[in-house]
Structure 1
């Protein structure tokens, strides 16, 4: 892959929306189960950890534990839903169902197929974050208009992890390989990125290493946006999420296109 291909935007047309719409039409047939899977698991975390475990924590960063944990579960949901649906779902469509190959029989380019699929899994991660935000508002955890720019930024977070998921899809050979990415990448990242406790509690080396992870920057920016305390650090985190979302999308396009055109 040439360096310039990482930064030059692909030529896209309405085929992207057609791919997204194809997924949406299928989604309508299973929307009840999909919504339950998308929202129920994060809400169980919110209840079990935020309220259950949080009842034993009197104060954290000047507030209750549930107030600290809520931004974390928002980011976790956007990341987890986008990545899981973007790996298992896309691998099935690419390898077994041959959906991508079938779509390309129509006037839709490989670039449009990839971006359309990334847009769809991004939408699902965004829907999940919106569901958690809605429940949070009912519980009194959302009391500011700043939840709207937060959700807008979470769309970018979902896009980033959807792009990573598409790259992983282009690498693995079977379903079993995904467990290495979820257990070796997703889960450790969520444990040290500040979802469950401030990363300041980590040892120095691990704390510095945590800032290499995309979830750390995403969560830091979400906390600052919700608090209305934007700083140069949060601006840098927003930029990095957007930048790497762009770059990794182009990498995913290159890898999937090469496989489709073999």
Structure 2
């Protein structure tokens, strides 16, 4: 049974920070004209990219992990984001140093949303794929199809992000040397897409599952469950012993993760201060 200690939470938050940093690095390759960068702050990492990309590529994670936070940290974040018309958005783990929450409250930050971090020990998982689906790593000549299918799936969700951002996120996944992209096919047609990154932490390599999308016409057929199991099997074969993913509270991704053997490690709160 997986128990969430502060050490495990630090490991998961470090994985999230490494993922965000890799996303920004890929964006710099994809859009070299953008002033995209990451900065260490308060034990975590702050990502600043194009304001048009919203909080997805403009937020702070792993804040206060293993380190005290001061008002100066928040003032630095406000000086970073506010001149670009961006709110400071801090994802706070409940295992962060107590000074983080106190500093956020003192500066008038408000809780606006929640996200869930799930973890799965890979020695406890076995792959059982649907006989109706073929799930495999993406072929090199399928990059365009991956981007189109990923964007189509996310665009059909409630309150979708802008299409340009969806395409950028898919292309970033394909540019990352640490990531393997997967497709689920039925009848030779792409039904869903996803990726998994190998993130090397001091405690050992972690599999970070992300950008899972199902095209609207193929929903309700177990596409995401199959993509989850295939990526877990891939990570296990690569010698990784722990997998992590994040979801919005109560959505289908949460249910699929729990069915695949993931357990909720903790719920993070997003604190916001607008310009």
Normalising to structure 1: TM-score of the pair? 0.24
1 or 2, which has the higher strand percentage? Answer: 2
1 or 2, which has the higher helix percentage? Answer: 1
